[in-house]
Amino acid sequence: MPGSTNHRWRNIDLAMAEKNSNLNNLVDEWLQELIVQRRYSAHTVGAYGRDLANFLSFLGDHFGETASLEILGQMKISDFRSWFSRRIGNGLCPRSNVRALSSVRSFFSYLAKGDLIELNVINGVKRPKLPSLLPKPVNEKTILNFLNSASFFDSDPEWVTDRDRALYTLLYCTGIRIGEALSIKTNDVASEIKIVGKGKKDRVIILLSTALARLEKYMASCPHTLSGGYLFLGVRGKKLHHTYVDNRLQKLRLIHGLPEHTSAHAFRHSFATHLVQNGADLRSVQELLGHESLASTQIYTDVDDYNLLKIYEKSHPLETRR
């Protein structure tokens, strides 16, 4: 009866294909929910998708068959530990592992809403511990000297120098993220600018007179048409990309003697740290940064405490006489 045997195996293959297709459809629906309902950025959705793909690939190796809803429902905490061990063995850092767990938890929660899976096991998985990393600001004097440089690159046209000075001043004066700055449209420029931040949440930033004057100087000198389009443009008239900005800053770091950690995001850290050091209250800094939780802002008090400790260690007679 060879025909019936082949038929039976064909039915099994079709059943497996249907299971896999069902899970793939659920993954697609979950990603769509992140975009439409949760309003996650394309960057975040892409990262979540890659994390889940890595997880499902691991399950295929771990269980010896393609991941399915049945396998997800049978998982134990020891299976998740094996997944983390694989990631650690591949050299992935704790921060990456924390995000990966968050991605997988998000997918499991989506499945649980449809009564397709239980959350008991994954809720029992402990988040990997993160090392305590303090933000690294640039020293006040250093950053002010840099912002007031006559030029950044000697070979740049004057309008490019105006553009870069306006951008760096904007980052330091407002603490906005580089992505937020590069998304500003020319028509939005005023003493107050509405910014769309993380999670598509709106906030208003107030421009200091110095920042506004430098923006206006750049707009007047820019040879490209700015009306109605993006504010910060490259030499070909296209919108600047954040990697281009960071690449230039890495070169400028060497020319201008800036610290090794100098980046576009370091301006944001410097903004918050210098405000706290000069007496700004934490709630105000939280609002200016657009942090949803005060806990995210409190790290800048830790930076201030760390700097105070360093001054104390250098200044106390018992230390200076060593």
Q: Is 62 a catalytic residue?
A: no
Q: Which member of 165, 177, 253, 269 is catalytic?
A: 177
> 177 catalytic, yes or no?
yes
What are the two backbone dihedrals, phi and then psi, of residue 206, each rounded to the nearest 5 degrees? -105, 130
Quick check: is 291 catalytic? yes
Catalytic hit among 62, 86, 99, 198: 198
Q: Does 230 qualify as catalytic in the annotation?
A: no
Alpha helices in 64-177 (DSSP H): 69-74, 77-89, 94-113, 120-123, 140-147, 158-174
- Paired sense of beta strands 192-196 and 202-206, if any: antiparallel
Helices (H), 126-279: 140-147, 158-174, 178-182, 209-221, 242-256, 264-277
Q: Is 244 a catalytic residue?
A: no
Neighbours of 284 (CB within 10 A): 12
268 is catalytic: yes
**Which among 163, 214, 248, 268 is annotated as catalytic?**
268
Written as one string, the DSSP assignment of 59-78 is: HHHHHSS---HHHHHH--HH
Tell me which of 105, 203, 242, 265 is the catalytic residue: 265
Give the residue numbers marked as catalytic: 177, 198, 265, 268, 291, 300
